[in-house]
Structure 1
Amino acid sequence: MSKLADTHSSGFDALDGFDLDDEFLDLDDGRPGPQLTPPPAAAPMSVPAEAAFVQAAPPVVATPSALNPVSGAVEVAIPRIAVHVFAERQDTAAAGERAGQDRRMARAATQIRLGGVQAAIEAYQNEPTPPLVIVESLKDPQSLLAEIDQLAQVCDSGTKVVIIGAANDILLYRELMRRGVSEYLVAPIQPLQLIAAIGGLFADPAQPFVGRTIAFVGARGGAGASAVAHNTAYAMSERIGVNTVIVDYDLPFGTAGLDFNQDPLGGVADALKQPERLDATLLDRMTVRCTDKLSLFAAPATLDADWDFSPDVFEEVTGRIRATAPFVVLDLPHLWSGWMRRALISADEVVVVATPDLASLRNAKNMIDLIKQGRPNDAPPRLVLNQVGLPGRPEIPVKDFGAALGVHPSLIIPFDAKVFGAAANNGQMIIDSAAKTKPAEAFETLAQIVSHRELPTAGTQTRGKAAAGGSSLLAGLFSRKRA
């Protein structure tokens, strides 16, 4: 079994010209495979750890206190691997434990041990090494290199090693890279920083990016979560100008097809039936192009089948769709099941839509508490209060509603039966049918909040016109062909 030190002579001259001002990572270093698989990414050590290894968050629009920017947001897909962490300090072990509990690491199995490099060397004398080993050493550079040479003698071929050290030294970094170390992080580290480093090592080169998922769910039936989701997605695509996909997971009763005046024959149901066959071409055939920047995976909205799929199938389909667009809006039904729980926990952003009544308050609190517990490293879910100001209905004051949940409402949408009713019956979005109204303004604001993007200036803003399925929505509603 060859040592990592044997790779010293293979050369790593590409780093000699590395620009210390570069923020992002070089995805192809061209080195041959040594004892420990060389990294697909390398970052200069002179850059602070917080900036070097955590993906920069997109610009955040300056809206009211509803907009709480998520610092250091990380969007990665980590495969089913085993990760062993050998820490020397308690705070490093705690960071590794929190990272292992993160939703992005749900498919990985993480073990945390104390003892640093020496503990790893002793452990792997009698057991195989996992795909990823993370070790911490607070020793001086020369002692660290000596320990890494010892670790190389017990590591299996193909194992990636990440070092957490105390020295912010570019020469040490280059020497570690020459020895085949996959990544070097400077202590202290944060959970999201560690997750970003792991995600970079196991990034799929065939998948250029991972889209951001935004899940909308109603606190109770009739809260208007679907209408909020569809109008927000439309504002993201047509006002902000980002490519967006809507996925209607309310299979028997979904309204996305109605809201956009579309009558798809397949859609998301076809994708769920054959997740293993999904590729870019097949996904494109299953989508309906509403505008140049908005696509729709509509629900079948029929009761011909039970639509009983496993959580893994929903996760697989969502993952495939994320590779097709920067933003994926999930329109989730008002039900509770294993796949619903997983969808809420794994989404990059969760929006809970509630009405100002007691049932919504109870259900929203249960949802928000569960989501907070399952997403310890993420911002809390966003709360949208809908249908506020319904004539004749006693309502819980907005201030009291937010105080009871511990989450301040990100947006308050006033009740306007005429505006919403006309848009729904005509298969239009609010920003098109009633652009000057308060609900239209609210959806533009919410689009900025969840996408972390600002509205373009008036001179560059373009609007796509939703494709109509026919001259009348109701005329073709029941003309769908049955299999």
Structure 2
Amino acid sequence: MSFLTPEQPPQVEDAAAEIASGARLVPRITIQAFCEHSQTAQLVESAMHDRRMSKVALTTHNGGIDGAVETYKSNPTPNLIIVETVLSPQEIPGSLSRLAEVCDASTRVIVLGHVNDVLLYRELIRSGISEYVVLPATSAELVTSITELYAAEGAAPIGRTVGFISAKGGAGSSTISHNVAWAIATSLRQDCLILDMDLPFGTAGLNFNQDPPHGLADAVLANQKVDQTMLDRLMSKAANHINLLTAPATLERTWDFEEREFEGIIEICQRSVPVIVLDIPHAWNAWTRQTLASIDDVVIVAEPDLANLRNAKNMADAIKAMRLTDSAPKLVINKQGVPRRPEIGASEFASSVECSLIGQIGFDAALFGTAANNGQMIAEVSANNKVNEIYRAIGMQVTGRQVSHGGGKSGSLLKLPAMFKKRA
């Protein structure tokens, strides 16, 4: 709790003097502040001049707690909400409970209040509020409160890791992972980092029309020398809220890795970026197994045919066995409706694989071909296409924003072999 009594005169800040040498930077989070007074908005905005906040995206709004409640009834919540309140200590908890009803579980809240009350502070912390700062305060104090939440020694990683992998070569997991990352960045306004782990053949650079000189291979080959500063240097900005660690896409050497080769890199990314999308190649070896076992969510992308069904079933069973206490893999059916191709119905496919179906994407050679050849996302080529809403829904699912109901079209054009039927 930060106290500054009203009797104290305003302090002239010397940011350089107040920031300890080697202070950690706040990671790439989004912050939205709801202020009752213009002076408070100025305080919050001045915090952005602190070098510890250099990676943060901040917006300020009027309206305090009530304004936040109205905003988040129809909009996704950011990583951190800062709300100013002029309510009495008796009214504050009830007002914040209404805010909690419209916030995602992962969102943190800092309250800026005008009441210096230890009992109120204890009640707010017990209820899940991250910090209570008594006004007037300095911007350095506010930044310190934020830093202690996200950048202090021992702070929990902020990054959610989501891996996409194809059940069969060419099923389209790369295209889907890139477009889902785009949807997360644009709809949720969350910073998203794409790791193109297919080092010899990866397409993240092509799909975003980027050709950076460095990428993921440099981080892997640096071995134990990689740190946050190095990763920041290797990342390339593809769009607002989207960064890439691209693959070199070269065959000048072989790309063989130890089981835990990527583990340290992913952990560093988790400390600085809210969403990490892993574009995992269609392969089955020590490092892909370890990656699939250790990340937060796995999405299997499959076409609706028998070979994809067999592979998806085998992969799902193996991944579940490796992740006994973690979430089961999810399923996306891609390239539905290829002309003259008999297909397995999506609901029957998902039932046989025993995975939650979170998306079905139709075959559209012209649309996807145009996007691929132009180095664009589908939303850039056709903003109103319904597939964009599917990508957004998948993004909501894998970031924990909503619960999957696993729907799907009923019926099947193919009779499945008995070995793929769901066991009773």
Hey, what does 1:389 align to over in structure 2?
337
Hey, what does 1:19 align to over in structure 2?
122
1:292 to 217, 234, 240: 240
Write out aligned runs for 1:302-451 (5 A).
302-451=250-399
CA RMSD of aligned residues (A): 2.3
Could you tell me which runs of 5 or more consecutive residues in structure 2 were left unpaired when the two chains were aligned: 1-117, 132-150, 403-424
Q: CA deviation at 1:390?
A: 0.6
Identity of aligned residues (%): 42
1:273 to 196, 201, 221: 221
Check the 8 A contact 1:275/1:317 in 2, yes or no: no
Separation in 2 of the partners of 1:423 and 1:27?
Answer: 43
Separation in 2 of the partners of 1:207 and 1:331?
Answer: 27
Separation in 2 of the partners of 1:371 and 1:205?
Answer: 32
Check the 8 A contact 1:218/1:224 in 2, yes or no: yes
Hey, what does 2:199 align to over in structure 1?
251
Question: Which amino acid in structure 2 is aligned with residue 238 of structure 1?
Answer: T
Question: Which amino acid in structure 1 is aligned with residue 122 of structure 2?
Answer: D
- TM-score when normalising by structure 2: 0.59
Write out aligned runs for 1:110-189 (5 A).
none
Q: CA deviation at 1:26?
A: 11
Query: Are residues 23 and 298 of structure 1, via their aligned partners in 2, closer, same or farther at CA, if it must alter by over 3 Å?
Result: farther
1:230 to 148, 154, 178: 178
Q: CA deviation at 1:333?
A: 0.2
1:365 aligned counterpart, secondary structure: helix
Query: Are residues 23 and 300 of structure 1, via their aligned partners in 2, closer, same or farther at CA, if it must alter by over 3 Å?
Result: farther
Separation in 2 of the partners of 1:400 and 1:340?
Answer: 28
Superposed CA offset, 1:181-221 (max 9, x none): xxxxxxxxxxxxxxxxxxxxxx9716563411000000000
Separation in 2 of the partners of 1:378 and 1:351?
Answer: 13
Query: Are residues 250 and 259 of structure 1, via their aligned partners in 2, closer, same or farther at CA, if it must alter by over 3 Å?
Result: same
Separation in 2 of the partners of 1:23 and 1:355?
Answer: 48
Structure number with bigger Rg: 1
- TM-score when normalising by structure 1: 0.52
Question: Which amino acid in structure 1 is aligned with residue 234 of structure 2?
Answer: M
Separation in 1 of the partners of 2:185 and 2:129?
Answer: 31
Q: Does 1:264 align with 2:208?
A: no
Larger RCO of the pair (alpha carbons < 8 Å, separation 6+):
1
Superposed CA offset, 1:325-378 (max 9, x none): 011000000011011001111110110000001111011111111111121222
Superposed CA offset, 1:209-245 (max 9, x none): 3411000000000000000000000110122210100
Query: Are residues 278 and 207 of structure 1, via their aligned partners in 2, closer, same or farther at CA, if it must alter by over 3 Å?
Result: farther
Q: CA deviation at 1:292?
A: 2.7
Query: Are residues 206 and 364 of structure 1, via their aligned partners in 2, closer, same or farther at CA, if it must alter by over 3 Å?
Result: same
Question: Which amino acid in structure 2 is aligned with residue 271 of structure 1?
Answer: A
1:313 aligned counterpart, secondary structure: coil
Question: Which amino acid in structure 2 is aligned with residue 311 of structure 1?
Answer: E
Q: CA deviation at 1:18?
A: 7.3
Tell me the number of residue pairs that the alignment of Structure 1 and Structure 2 aligns: 266
- Which moves more between the two structures, 345-354 or 437-446? 437-446
Query: Are residues 26 and 417 of structure 1, via their aligned partners in 2, closer, same or farther at CA, if it must alter by over 3 Å?
Result: closer
Superposed CA offset, 1:255-301 (max 9, x none): 00000000122200000011322222211110101123110000000
Separation in 2 of the partners of 1:214 and 1:381?
Answer: 10
Question: Which amino acid in structure 2 is aligned with residue 215 of structure 1?
Answer: G
Hey, what does 2:161 align to over in structure 1?
213
Q: CA deviation at 1:453?
A: 3.4
Q: CA deviation at 1:322?
A: 1.5
Separation in 1 of the partners of 2:314 and 2:216?
Answer: 28
Separation in 1 of the partners of 2:130 and 2:186?
Answer: 33
Separation in 2 of the partners of 1:24 and 1:419?
Answer: 49
Separation in 2 of the partners of 1:208 and 1:362?
Answer: 38
Separation in 1 of the partners of 2:290 and 2:201?
Answer: 21
Write out aligned runs for 1:76-91 (5 A).
none
